[in-house]
Amino acid sequence: MNEEAKGERIAKRLSRAGVCSRREAERMIADGRVSIGGQTIDTPATLVTDADIIAVDGKEIAAPERARLWRYHKAPGILCTNRDPQERPTLFEQLPKDLPRVMLVGRLDFNSEGLILLTNDGALARKLELPETGWVRRYRVRVYGAPEEKALAALADGVTVEGVRYGPIEAFLEQKQARNSWLSVTLREGKNREIRRVMEHIGLKVNRLIRVSYGPFHLGNLARGDLREVPAHVIADQTGAERAAHTRPKPRKPPAGRNKAGVRKHAHRRRNP
């Protein structure tokens, strides 16, 4: 019998129930704050089932909620973190107070903007972020000056910048302006400040960066600061996540070419964009 058949790890259960992250769960367990059936546990590897009564600080936790996913339009000048010592505005401060505990899928840096995915399920977050999933991240990038098309094309082979290896990047010129150029950039890894560092490496200074899609999920017509939940059946169709009973909101007419979840019609996972 495999481990999943026996149950799931307590740290994962606490994460799925929205109590805390797995890492935070490990600390709580080490501090003796978690009990199962009234018995304090000391290892995050402990397996639990739906029949177990789990408590944190003596308070029984709620049953795990189904996996949920939201699209959010991050504005520039917002940090993708819970709190900032410098007291700069953070993404989590912008979210509705009645939103369950959520985690980010694919961060954006302070000055970048566009699509962020949020989920209440740690396993789903990790699945969406893995390069092996094959989902591309697409961006519109504005740079100073006019880029050389040969330099952009060379990024398709990957590039090493200051000892860091970046995978293939598809970049092409969309539009030239008086002092700036707009580029379309597609990548799969999304390492920290990857686009800005790679563009600087080929002599381009990024002055605006907008993520327009993450896999099959698109920014669409979301206004800055707007949050919209992805229907459960769409999550199941696009990620293979388990379907759960849910109430669908009253349908609204989607923008042309996309459905109400910001997913392109007939979208599916592909290795090639």
How do residues 131-144 score in pLDDT, each as one tens digit? 777 789 999 999 99
CA distances from 250 to 210, 231, 247, 253 (A): 29, 11, 9, 10
What pTM, to 2 d.p., does this model score? 0.75
> What's residue 169's pLDDT?
96
Q: Could you tell me if 129 and 166 are in contact, meaning their C-beta atoms sit under 8 angstroms apart? A: no
Distance from C-alpha of 186 to C-alpha of 170, rounded to nearest angstrom: 5
pLDDT of 253 > 50? The answer is no
> What's residue 185's pLDDT?
97
Q: Please give the structure tokens belonging to residue 200.
A: 């600087």
Question: Which CATH code of 3.30.230.10, 2.40.50.100, 3.30.70.1560, 3.40.50.880 fits the domain covering 136-214?
Answer: 3.30.70.1560
Region 144-163 average pLDDT: 94
Task: Tell me how far apart the terminal alpha carbons of the chain are, to the nearest angstrom.
Answer: 40
Q: Could you tell me if 48 and 54 are in contact, meaning their C-beta atoms sit under 8 angstroms apart? A: yes
Active-site residue among 109, 157, 226, 237?
A: 109
pLDDT of 129 > 50? The answer is yes
How do residues 104-116 score in pLDDT, each as one tens digit? 998 899 999 999 9
Beta bridge partners of 129: none
Domain limits, the chain: 3-60, 136-214
Mean pLDDT over each residue of the chain, to the nearest integer: 85
Equal fold, 3-60 vs 136-214: no
Q: Could you tell me if 30 and 38 are in contact, meaning their C-beta atoms sit under 8 angstroms apart? A: no
Q: Please give the structure tokens belonging to residue 75.
A: 């504005």
**CB atoms closer than 10 angstroms to residue 267:** 19
Distance from C-alpha of 136 to C-alpha of 184, rounded to nearest angstrom: 13
> What's residue 160's pLDDT?
95
> What's residue 259's pLDDT?
59
Q: How confident is the model at residue 84 (pLDDT cuts 50, 70, 90)?
A: confident
> What's residue 37's pLDDT?
93
Residue where the block lists tokens 């304090």: 40
How do residues 27-48 score in pLDDT, each as one tens digit? 999 999 999 999 999 998 899 9
Give the three-state DSSP class for 190.
coil
Beta bridge partners of 218: 213
How do residues 192-243 score in pLDDT, each as one tens digit? 899 999 999 999 999 999 999 999 999 999 999 999 999 999 999 988 755 4
Can 109 be counted among the known catalytic residues?
A: yes
For residues 104-134, b (16+ Cβ closer than 10 Å) or e, as one string? bbbebbeebbbbbbbbbbbebbebbbeeeee
Question: Which CATH code of 3.90.1150.10, 3.10.290.10, 1.10.1200.10, 3.30.950.10 fits the domain covering 3-60?
Answer: 3.10.290.10
